[in-house]
């Protein structure tokens, strides 16, 4: 079954393509490049299309797991359904359910920290990938980053400083960040009352789930660094 995501308006893609062609025709490297055949990659579950901003490839909000609501609540992450269309990896994924009451009440704190939350949903298992290049033969190390928030709050782009562009550019690494389940939905172990089905409840099994391979780089497991805040 094809997931329900909107397709890009044709006039928007045509406008962006024309702007890119004009910039390249004048000998300028465009700041933003997006289009049908730009930042197109294969993953384990289907093709994705991102964009190139300041020469760094962005792939945002790609599913690495299925919706965690309903029958998938509390159980180990399930693989997402493969898709046949091109997934628009152009925007961040949903934030995990968390307390959003008065999140923006303090205007000065909101201005200082630039809180970015958007939609909150149990369909939140999303990964973002930033890479300096694709298909250039280089085996780049991967920096896998997990956001902070006391295990109850946050997301992969909660603050602008969480953007992986500069680390990808200046460190020549593939920077990956994720949204994951939080609070009771992510860290409650129900094995004692639910049996074997819940032996790896919630996020316990996240490290064994299979994030999509974006085709951005090839590396060995020894070249993956896990970091967090």
Domain ranges of the chain: 56-80+94-228
The one-digit pLDDT tens for each residue of the chain (229 residues) are 455 555 556 666 666 667 666 666 666 678 999 988 999 999 999 999 999 999 999 999 999 999 999 999 998 889 999 999 999 999 999 999 999 888 788 888 888 777 777 789 999 999 999 999 998 988 899 999 999 899 999 999 888 889 999 999 999 999 999 999 999 999 888 888 888 888 877 775 555 444 555 544 455 667 888 888 7
What integer pLDDT is reported at residue 1 of this predicted model? 43
CA distances from 137 to 37, 122, 133 (A): 20, 37, 10
Residue 191: what pLDDT?
85
Nearest to 186 by CA among 79, 61, 77: 77
CA atoms within 13 A on the CB side of 18: 6
Residue-wise over 94-127: b if at least 16 C-beta within 10 A, else e? Answer: bbbbbeeeeeeeeeeeeeeeebebeeeebbbbbb
Q: CA–CA distance from 205 to each of 75, 106, 198, 209 (Å)?
A: 9, 36, 10, 7
Say what the pLDDT of residue 215 is. 46
Report the pLDDT value the prediction gives residue 165, as an integer from 0 to 100.
96
Q: How far apart are CA 227 and CA 112, in angstroms?
A: 24
CB 228 within 8 A of CB 146: yes
Which DSSP helix (H) or strand (E) runs through 19? helix 10-25
Q: What pLDDT is recorded for position 147?
A: 92
pLDDT at 163: 93
pLDDT of amino acid 143: 93
At residue 90, the pLDDT reads 94
Q: What residues have CB less than 8 Å from 26, skipping those under 6 apart?
A: none
pLDDT of residue 7: 58
Max Cα distance, the chain (Å): 67
């Amino acid at each position: 079954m094809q997931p329900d995501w909107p397709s890009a308006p044709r006039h928007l893609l045509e406008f962006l393509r024309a702007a890119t062609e004009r910039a390249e025709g004048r000998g300028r490297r465009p700041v933003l490049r997006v289009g049908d055949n730009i930042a197109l990659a294969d993953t384990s579950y289907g093709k994705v299309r991102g964009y190139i901003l300041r020469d760094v490839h962005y792939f945002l909000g790609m599913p690495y797991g299925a919706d965690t609501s309903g029958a998938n609540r509390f159980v180990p992450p399930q693989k997402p359904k493969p898709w046949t269309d091109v997934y628009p990896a152009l925007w961040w994924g949903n934030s995990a359910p968390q307390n959003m009451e008065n999140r923006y009440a303090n205007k000065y704190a909101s201005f200082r920290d630039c809180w970015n939350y958007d939609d909150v949903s149990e369909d939140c298992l999303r990964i973002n990938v930033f890479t300096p290049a694709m298909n250039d033969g280089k085996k780049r190390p991967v920096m896998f980053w997990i956001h902070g928030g006391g295990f109850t709050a946050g997301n992969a782009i909660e603050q602008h400083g969480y953007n992986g562009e500069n680390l990808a550019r200046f460190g020549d690494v593939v920077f990956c960040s994720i949204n994951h389940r939080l609070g009771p939905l992510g860290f409650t172990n129900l094995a004692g009352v639910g049996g074997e089905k819940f032996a790896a409840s919630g996020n316990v099994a996240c490290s064994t789930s299979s994030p999509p391979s974006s085709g951005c780089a090839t590396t060995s497991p020894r070249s993956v660094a896990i970091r967090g805040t």
